[in-house]
Structure 1
Amino acid sequence: MGKIVVSENVSLDGAFEDPTDSRFGGWLSRIGEKDRQAWAQVQFEEARRCEALLMGGRSYTWFAERWVTRGDEWAQRLRSLPKYVVSSTLEVLDWENTTLLKGDMAKEVAKLKQDVTGEIVVYGSGRLVKALVEQDLVDELRLMVYPVVVGVGGRRLLAETSTSGRMRLVDSRTVGDGLAYLAYEFPRDA
């Protein structure tokens, strides 16, 4: 059975905007080279361990535009993975190994969890993450916390979810000199 893992880059105050976007401070450019290299290593290892990617339409478009032409090993891994996209607006998916999930999102993702063995990683995809959390489909939440405060502006990862389930810390560590990696599990009732 598959495991839905939400993997996000967040600021100290919970914003989960693209860390390269200068509108919100360009977090990635504000950390040192050692931190950027350590961050990339953690992200690449996660990509090597996962069995599939799950994304919303806007995140899919963002990733496809940037990763389809890169030639490094990380990009090759992302291209080789099966990718599943939840979108009501996209019709053409050009990135190889991509499937559009149609119909009821909760049913399609539950079926995906049955069909895929291993981790199904979700990057970005704010609206999808909210829906997955509300449908109790997320198994683990991984946060790479940057030592920056966005303040006013920026979207907050779980700010508008209607659920308030308890999570259990399963991993925490320093990445590089200034990033914090936190992993939380959503325990299921026995």
Structure 2
Amino acid sequence: MSTIVVQAFITLDGVVQAGGGPDEDREGGFEHGGWTAEFDERDGGEGGEIIAEWESRTEALLLGRKTYEIFAGSWGVWDEDAEGLQGELTRRYNRIPKYVASRTLTELGWQNSQLLGPDVPAAVAELRAKPGGEIRVWGSTRLARTLAEHDLIDEYRLAVYPLVLGTGKKLFSDGFPLSRLELLGTRALRSGVLINTYRPRRDQTAG
């Protein structure tokens, strides 16, 4: 059985939109893109080491349309021979399967990518039931909500930034299903970011 892991860079008020760059996702007039940068610059490389360790376990990506397009336009075209984490992740992401939930896309240009089809929960449940490692969800807030509604998330890994933006897409938006989580571990980085790992408490989860 594979493990579906939702990972996110998230603010104290729950925003996950466009942490990586100013033009990553301006949907809704979002003007705070790149909000992780000031913290990442002062963490002494701790954050990069954690991401490298997380992604060494990634056997597949599970993405919504918007996040897929962002990833395909970055990791899908960047130089695999780049130094450090960028090159390492570019090589890995190019080679592993990418499963995409979309009602509008009909073709996927990034290598090893495929659409999940009209019944996303059933397709994901089938993927999860197969032997394998971690299936990684980045971003993809609507997809994460759908997965939670069908009890298909095995773990959340959240890098919580000491920042309140007051606007932007949230991972746990209004209407997200009631979910009780067990804290598996936490780690404070010198930048002030907290790395929290949670597992759903399925014996007490009301969906």
Give yes or no for TM over 0.5: yes
Tell me by how many angstroms 1:13 deviates: 1.3
Which residues in structure 2 correspond to 1:1-190 (within 5 Å)?
A: 1-22=1-22, 23-24=31-32, 26-35=34-43, 37-70=45-78, 71=80, 72-151=87-166, 153-189=167-203
Matched to 2:19, the amino acid is: P
**Count of paired positions:** 189
Q: Which runs of 4+ in 1 moved over 3 A?
A: none
The share of aligned pairs that are identical, in percent, is 38
Provide, for residues 66-112 of structure 1, a one-character-per-residue CA deviation record: whole Å limited to 9, x for no partner. Answer: 11222211211111111111111111111111111102111111001
Q: Give the whole-Å Cα distance in 1 for the aligned partners of 2:18 and 2:157.
A: 16
Q: Give the whole-Å Cα distance in 2 for the aligned partners of 1:14 and 1:36.
A: 25
| Aligned 8 A contact 2:39 2:191 in 1 | no
More helix by share: 1
Q: Give the whole-Å Cα distance in 2 for the aligned partners of 1:37 and 1:145.
A: 16
Q: Give the whole-Å Cα distance in 2 for the aligned partners of 1:36 and 1:15.
A: 24
Q: Secondary structure at the match of 1:24?
A: coil
| Aligned 8 A contact 1:134 1:161 in 2 | no
* Compared CA separation, residues 33 and 122, structure 1 to 2 (3 A): same
Return the TM-score normalized by structure 2.
0.85
Matched to 1:46, the amino acid is: W
List gaps (5 residues or longer) in structure 1. none
Q: Give the whole-Å Cα distance in 1 for the aligned partners of 2:94 and 2:7.
A: 18
Q: Give the whole-Å Cα distance in 1 for the aligned partners of 2:65 and 2:158.
A: 21
RMSD: 1.8
